[in-house]
Amino acid sequence: MREMIKMVLVLTVITAVSGGILSVLKTSTEERIEGQILKFQKAPAIADIFDTATNDPLKDRFKILFEDEEITFFPGKLEDGSKAVAFEAKGGGFGGDVGLMVGIDLESDKIIKARVTTHSETPGIGSRIKDDPAAFLSQFAGMGFDSNFKTKNDGGDIDALSGATVTSKGVCIAAAQVKQLYLKLKPQILNKMK
């Protein structure tokens, strides 16, 4: 019986101490982690999309709750005076989800630029989608939301990147998601950006 108590006691104490240490560490790193996510995942894509922004889209970001999910929007005020917004959606590629950040002009409802944020595609093949925007992503620029975001093989308007069809499809799924979200949430976005 004493042995039993000791066993339970030791295990409980170790688990409790471990939980305590971890919760302290968690609270002390929380802010930094959120900063890192913005810095490494979103910032490069946003800087690329809003290269003529006069504001700081990262700082001005706001969130909208949609079907239990918080979506972060990055507003951009561009040099020529037009207003735009960028946000991210995901689609399944060859090695996992591909994150696509899309910048949209709020007046013309046209895509300014699209950039890949995160992916785990094959280096040298699927990864070209992010590393070489001119090869694939540039075709999204200027497209409106009447376009069909599917690859041409599937009857859509997008030319797939040769050798990386599955990755291209993943990006198209993300783009279609952006379209759907934008059409549904546009009034709320405009409201928040006033």
Binding site for another protein (CB under 8 A): 3, 6-7, 10-11, 14-15, 18-19, 21-23, 25-26, 29, 32-33, 36-37, 39-41, 94, 118, 120, 122-125, 165-166
> In the chain, how long is the greatest CA-to-CA distance?
79
Backbone phi, then psi, for 68, in 5-degree steps?
A: 65, 5
Judged by beta carbon, residue 117 or residue 147, the one nearer another protein is 117
- Residue closest to 75 by CA, chosen among 36, 103, 37: 103
CA 106 to chain centre: 19
Element (H, E) at 1: none
- Least distance to another protein, CB of residue 169, Å: 9
Q: Which is nearer to another protein, 43 or 193 (CB)?
A: 43
Q: Supply the minimum distance, in Å, between the C-beta of residue 19 and another protein.
A: 6
10 Å Cβ neighbour count for 114? 26
Question: Is the Cβ of residue 40 or residue 66 nearer to another protein in the bound state?
Answer: 40
The distance of closest approach from Cβ of residue 70 to another protein in the complex, given in angstroms and rounded to an integer, is: 14
- Pick between residue 58 and residue 166 the one whose CB is nearest to another protein: 166
Q: Which residues contact 163 (CB under 8 A, 6 or more apart)?
A: 125
